[in-house]
Structure 1
């Protein structure tokens, strides 16, 4: 039997997630990192440059408005693990209300975004993209604000990259991740409950000193 949306959700609950080698590879495999990237919701860093960008109000942010557009934006790169089957599976999860997107717009142009899966009080970030300076950082700023207000306890980023580390993400052991995952899965949260904040509210997040 092939991978289904239900099996995909079950994988997340036991700490694994799917990937493909590249967009043209039909094979999907499960990943269970020894060390896991997470972004503590009280530890997100808003740098001075990002604060200035938010203050300008150049972009506006929506949620669950163009999930396929965000998914395709994340796959629009030289190397991607998002193949046709994974795309179809996550759109099915979105249609079922289990996957969500946050979009960053410059006028009518989709210039950035992030998407992931919500189960209980755990949010599993899958990918993000940017077509304008700082658009992905703005997406994460709004996402962290939303997750905190909606009652989420765990923001899983899968891996720790230099970009995510600069924003406050950390790495934990597999055992520590599973402990945090179990706690988050046992609690309720509602991704769509909070209203979209103003740039000023987002800027109240912890700031970097550099």
Structure 2
């Protein structure tokens, strides 16, 4: 029938309480992500909740460390987007034994069409999730369909009005590598900017 309320755990075992108060453990380790990505997504949530930024390195195993930090790329023109995509296609070829598509999140049909046009112009093969069985070098996935899922290598868009909860979800979906992209003239989310200042996120701009 389920727990229903946290307080209902107290009668199961004294291990759930300390000095008569419920003891709730806050999980810091995101098991779907490397330390570098998990550290970023966890601390984005900390900032969104007006909490202190902390390094959660001790929560991760040694073999989950030493991977790429999240990257923020400023896109000035279509060639910048093409370069970001091609660099991740090459990253997969160089660093993984299996070949799979770079997952690119999209916000709406207009943004999807713009990105598709760019890839077509550079002969980069792609597919759109749920629309075709064909797999290309890139797979477009709507941000409405990413909650609760994981993707190995991700490119995620940031706009001037991307909500904090959507940014957090995008940050916490990538398993090994995450590139955030935004327009060269866009204002960067305050929490993202803070994480860049603290070197949780690296940037080309």
If each structure's strand is expressed as a fraction of its own residues, which one has the higher value? 1
- TM-score, length basis structure 2: 0.28
Larger Rg: 2
- TM-score, length basis structure 1: 0.28
